[in-house]
Amino acid sequence: MRVSGSLARSIAKAITGVELAPRHATVANFRSGDGSVIDRGIALAFAAPHSYTGEDVLELQGHGGAVVMQQLLQRCVELGARLAQPGEFTQRAFLNDRLDLAQAESVADLIDASSVEAARSAARSLAGDFSRRVHALVDRLIRLRMHVEACIDFPEEEIDPADRNAQREQLGAIHLELEELLSEARQGAVLRDGLTVVLIGRPNVGKSSLLNRLAGDDVAIVTPIAGTTRDHVRATVSLGGVPVHLIDTAGLRVAGDEIERIGIERTWAAIESAGAALYITDVNTADDGDERAHLARMPSAMPFLRVMNKVDLTQDPAGVDCEGSNLIRVSAKSGAGIDALRSWLLETAGWKPHGEGLFMARARHLAALHESREHLLSAAAIDQPFELMAEELKLGQQRLSQITGEFAADDLLGEIFSRFCIGK
C-alpha cells in the first residue's frame, strides 16, 4: 500500500509507532487506532523530492490478505489519507517533474503490455528513450527558429545567401530525423496496439481449429457438428512480439434458430470493428455463391485473406497460392502453411523487423509527429516572407512538445490519466 503527500510521515508514525529512516526498510507491527496489531510487515519511507511522485511517500508491505489490507487501508483513511484517483500517483509524478507525459503514459503501457517485446519497449519509453529523441528534435527546431526570427527582427541586415542555404540544410536534416522517429513510432504503436483479426466463413470449415492452432491451445470447442460456435471466442497470440487479437465467430449461413441468428449478427458486427479478416473455406467444399456474397459484404478498405483449410486431406501444396495472391492453403490439423499465414498477419499489422531499441508509441504521439512533419514541409516550401516560415516552425515545435507534455491542454491531461488503473 502506498501513501503520497504531506501526511505520509505522520501516518507512518501512527501506524508503525516509530520514525522511519528515509530509504531504509523497517520491519514493524502495523497497528489500528486502538493499538491492536493489524499485520506485521515492512515499512519504507521516501522523502520528497526523491520519490516516485516527488512528494513524501510511505510504502507498507504486508501479507496481502484482502481483509488485512482493507483494515490497513481504513486505518490510513482514518489518519487523513483518501483513495487515489485513477492514475493519480503517476499524474503527481508528472506535475512534480519526475516524469514527462510520454514517460507517464508508458507506465500504463508497461502494465498493459501483452508481449515481452511490448513490455521492453514500454520500459525503454519509461526510461526516457522516446522523450530524449523528441527533446533533441525540439532543441534543433529552437535553434533554427532563433536564426529565422533574427532575420525578422533585424530586417535591415542583409541576409547572406549562404545563411539562407544553411537554414534549408538544417530544416532538411530535422525533417529526416523526424521521419526516422515517425517510422520507429509506427512500429512502437504496432507493438502496443497489435492487430485485431476476425475469423469468418461458413460453418464447419475449421475456423475454431485454426484459432487453436494459432493460439497454441484449445481455446475454442471443436466438433464435427456445424454451428458449434455461437458466440465470439477470443485469443491473443504474440507473433514476433506483435499482439494479434483473434476472434472466432459463428459460421455464416441461414440461421437455424434465434440463438444462431444473433451469433451471425455479432459476426458481422465484429467484422466492422476488426482490423483484418481471414475468410476460411474448406478445400473439399465448392463455392455455391455464398462465398462471393460474403466477400462482397466485407468493408471495402479492410485487408482480408482467403484461407483454404484442410489441405492435409488432398494433395494441394500448402502456403501462398502464388505471388501477389490473397489465397493461402493451410492445414489447421497438421500446421502446414501456418508460417505463411503468420507472415501475412505481421505484414498486415504493419510490422517490420527493427531490432532492439524500439519504444512504445500511442495514437496521439503519431498524430503529433504527423502534424509536426506537415508544418516542417510547409516551412520548407516557403521562401519569403520569413514570418510565415517562422510560424510554421513554431507550430511544428509545439506539436512535438505535446508529446512530452511541455505544451498540453488540461483536458488532454485529464483524459490520459483517467485511463490508468486505480491509483497507479
Quickly count: other Cβ atoms within 10 Å of residue 404's Cβ: 24
Q: Is 330 within 8 Å of 318 (Cβ atoms)?
A: yes
What lies within 8 Å, CB to CB, of 320 at 6+ separation is 327, 328, 340
What is the dihedral angle through the alpha carbons of 307, 309, 312, 318, rounded to the nearest 10 degrees? Answer: 0
Judged by average pLDDT, the poorest of 270-274, 311-315, 344-348, 377-381 is 270-274
Q: Which pLDDT band, with edges at 50, 70 and 90, does 178 fall under?
A: very high
Q: Answer whether residue 92 shows pLDDT above 50.
A: yes
Rg over alpha carbons for the chain, rounded to the nearest Å, is 29
Closest CA to 375 of 174, 180, 183: 174
Helix (H) or strand (E) holding 129: helix 129-153
Confidence of residue 284 (pLDDT cuts 50, 70, 90): confident
pLDDT at 326 over 70: yes
Please tell me the predicted confidence (pLDDT) of residue 73: 94
For residue 203, the model assigns a pLDDT of 78
Residue reference for cell 483449410: 309
Q: What's the pLDDT score for residue 149?
A: 79
For the chain, which domains are there? 2-83 (3.30.1360.120), 102-191+362-417 (1.20.120.430), 194-349 (3.40.50.300)
pLDDT at residue 263, as a whole number: 67
How far from 177 is each of 137, 197, 354, CA to CA, in Å? Answer: 8, 33, 16
- C-alpha triplet 141, 144, 149: angle, nearest 5°: 120
Q: Please give the average per-residue pLDDT across 92-108, as a whole number.
A: 92
Write the pLDDT tens digit of every residue in 6-41.
Answer: 999 999 999 999 999 999 999 999 999 999 999 999
Q: Residue 350: left (phi > 0), alpha (psi -120 to 50), or beta?
A: left
